[in-house]
Structure 1
Amino acid sequence: MVKSFQGVREAPIKKSSQPLLVSDHMSTNLVTFHPNDTIDHVIMAMTKKNISGAPVVDEDGNLVGMISEGDCLKEIVKGQYTNTPKFPGSVEEHMTKEVITMPPDISIFDAADQFLTLRIRRFPVVKNGALLGQISVSDIIRAMPKLKASTWGKY
């Protein structure tokens, strides 16, 4: 009797059809601002939309910064000294210009690790300078119940 032995072989890893990339879970319908918008405009829009920050884009849709409630506070404090309830300062004056971004094609597990490491609650998702969306800690958390246990450990 002849036995055939092919040696140890690894079972091929099946590609998951689960949406596991940042691009599958990011928000794309974003409120954005322009560098020449006023802080008055930002405060009104953020209050109306119940958001705490937003990307700042140029005319071509490229990310140039982020503006947050904290950035707006700087103009509010300045308004106290000038004794005016108006906040005419520009977004460009107060926005964060060095923004940490995330590419759309990384896994949500790598994104989760970045959230923990950098202690940031949201990242703009950018490809070739263009703003595609935004991923937040909440987006990652909402994705978890949708994943199948059978392919969980393969990423």
Structure 2
Amino acid sequence: MMTLFYVVLGTLFGFILSRSGAADYDYIQGMFLFEEFQLYGIIGTAVALTAPGLWLLKRYGKTLTGKPLVVERKAGHRGNVYGGILFGIGWSITGMCPGPVLVNVGEGKLYALAALAGVLAGAALFGCSYRVLTRPFRLPPLAVGTGEG
């Protein structure tokens, strides 16, 4: 039941990305060149709506079992900076971050398959080299568990 909910939620999110232009290569390139400002408004609106929503969830949220919802603050480290730079470079070059990659694939844009291959290859490379990168980037130890948080 929850899987269907997540599929519907993801589909709705993809539809909104598509219709708003947030997955359009030309809009994204225009944003990075400071020629288009529509995406800055979309991002700003998302932050303005999400910040109070997260605050309310942290303050009053409950899990499905009725326990208080706990959102732990993640520690900052050098890897955040380098990862953010790498993410921004990839976003700028391809005009897509992971969500819009899937939206563009769903819209039938062939070039998005190359971006999807890059996302998957990059994630696999990072996963395979995590232990080697832990020390120079001061990454936290990898926690292996059930995937439930």
With normalisation by structure 2, the TM-score equals: 0.22
Structure with bigger helix share is 2
Structure with bigger strand share is 1
With normalisation by structure 1, the TM-score equals: 0.22
